[in-house]
Amino acid sequence: MAKQKKQKRKPGVCIPWEEKMKELPKITGDKELVKTVWENIDALGYVYIWQCLLSF
Amino acid sequence: MAKDMEKLYAQRLKRYVTAMRNGKPDMIPIRLFVAEFTAKYAGYTCQEVTHDFEKAFAAARKCAADFDWDAVVGNMVYVWTGLTQAIGTKYYAAPGIDISPDIGFQYLEPPEEQAFMKPDEYDQLIEDPTGYLFNVWLPRISSDVAEMGQPTSFRNNLSFLKGGMAMLNYFNGFGKQAELLRTESGTVSAISGILKAPFDIIADKLRGYLGLMTDVMERPDKVLEACEALVPHLTHVALSGADPDKNVPIGFWMHRGCVPFFSHEHFNKYYWPTLKPIIEAIWAQGHQVLFYAEGDWNAHLNSFAELPDGAIVFHVDQADIFEAHKLIGHKFCISGGIPNFLLSYGTPEQVRQYCKKVIDGVAGDGGYIMDASAIVQNDAKVENIRAMTEFTREYGVY
């Protein structure tokens, strides 16, 4: 398989944390917690659209 | 869970997994892909099991409790029209709504000129598959989702809310169903996770079969790039739904990428080079893939034989199961091969004779799982399914 072109969104991601982070004020607490929760919930959006395509 | 049920579950899991690893278990495992048959057996209509997934779950559990099967799918009907209606999906004919309540749901492929993806949109798909699906594809396949740039609506907003919550509710139901299958009847949930080949999914849900036929002639490079762009996503989705215990395989549903729908040249250029790395990546994580080779895929057995030993379970539908066993049986477990027409129109004695022929020809050294050729729908006779089950239990002991 040929080398793939870089895609705008990685697998498992709809809105990357790096993009979301720019919208937030400076995080004074646990930044990693905010990142993890964002990514976990964002992944549900990814599941939704790919399952629509593949399963339903 | 009662101790005897836990013991039965452990026996069945060991039997099923041993066969899938191409080994010889104590007896031939039975794993039926029973879909609308479960409705018929449990006294439901196709509409009831398609539209009410709790009834579908109950019907699958009733079959699992009454037949001596090692493994089943929690709901092989799978498409839940409650969910597809919430999304506003246009491409299903639902039993009891669009078609008779006693006919299984149908997939409606649009005419080529109304394909959900237009021929000049390959670059959008390649650059950002997830964005393309949300922004372009979903509004086209849904009667409720508004196109990008168009005014939103109450129906648009509700589609995402209801669709998302319904999907989560349904998927959570499968976990509970697996536990009930285990505790009520000692039955293993046969598969976990989903995979489709990049080339197949472009034909199925994006360009349509006819559209893709045109594209491989008119824009072959774009087709290949699109297949390649889908590889990491389809791998990710498959792995995200895989069995964490690495016992049961990921279900891989094969559609129209084979000869004679496409040529050997097309298979070798598009289908296989973009499927093989997915299977290899999944196998590298320790998961098997069940090739549900719907139709006849024997023209491509030599390609499948390139995969590592044990990486797949090869399910035979209408192909020659004896040829499949001869060419790849030394590497992979084989399943299926009992013709559905026989289960529908034959007699129990004819079913027993055919099962004997398959067992004698394929199962001698283990590495075989008894199943019908294709998903069992409500045309199959109960007495034939019973004959298939009982004969395999009597004759299939090693």
pLDDT digits (tens, 9 = 90+) for B72-85: 999 999 999 999 99
What pLDDT does residue B3 have?
80
Residue type, B98: D
Q: Under DSSP, is residue B142 helix (H, G, I), strand (E, B) or coil?
A: strand
The distance of B254 to chain A (nearest Cα, Å) reads: 12
B81 residue type, one letter: T
Count how many Cα atoms sit within 13 Å of the Cα of residue B222 in the half-sphere of its side chain: 19
Residues 6+ apart with CB under 8 A from B119: B207, B211, B214, B215, B218, B219
Residue in the structure block whose two tokens are 């949300």: B134
Return the pLDDT at A6. Answer: 79
B105 token code pair: 């749901």
B92-93 and B106-107 beta bridge pairing:
antiparallel
Under 8 Å between Cβ of B86 and B163: yes
Strand partners, B293: B254, B316
| Distance, C-alpha B108 to centroid of its chain | 18
Angle between helices B348-362 and B321-328 (to 10 degrees): 20
Contact B167 A1 (CB under 8 A): no
Give me the pLDDT at residue B83, please: 96
Amino acid A3: pLDDT: 63
Answer for the pair B103, B77: CB distance below 8 angstroms, yes or no.
no
In this prediction, residue B247 carries a pLDDT of: 98
Q: Do A8 and B235 touch (CB under 8 A)?
A: no
3 state DSSP class of B376: strand
Extract the residue ranges of chain B whose pLDDT is less than 70: 1
Q: What is the pLDDT of residue B178?
A: 98
pLDDT at position B273: 98
Contacts with B232 from chain A: Cβ below 8 Å: 4, 7, 10-11
pLDDT for res A2: 64
Q: Which two tokens stand for residue B190?
A: 């046969």
Q: Which residue of chain B has the CA closest to A9?
A: B128
Inter-chain touch B240–A55, beta carbons under 8 Å: no
Q: Which residue of A has its CA nearest to B196?
A: A54
Work out the pLDDT band at A7, boundaries 50, 70, 90. confident
- Chain B residues near residue A11 by CB distance under 8 angstroms: 232-233, 235-237
Q: If you compute the radius of gyration of chain A from its CA atoms, what whole number of angstroms results?
A: 14
Q: Which of B89, B202, B223, B237 to mutate to test the interface with A (most CBs of A within 10 A)?
A: B237
How many residues in total does chain A contain? 56
Task: Please state whether beta strands B194-195 and B188-189 pair in parallel, antiparallel, or not at all (unpaired).
Answer: unpaired
CA torsion B68-B73-B75-B78 (nearest 10°) is -150
Residue of A nearest to B166 (CA): A48
Determine, for residues B237 and A5 on separate chains, whether the beta-carbon distance falls below 8 Å: no
Q: If you count DSSP H runs as helices and E runs as strands, how many of each does chain B have, helices first?
A: 19, 10
Rg value, chain B, Cα: 21
Interval B362-388: pLDDT, tens: 999 999 999 999 999 999 999 999 999
User: Any CB–CB contact under 8 A between B236 and chain A?
Assistant: yes
| The model's pTM | 0.96
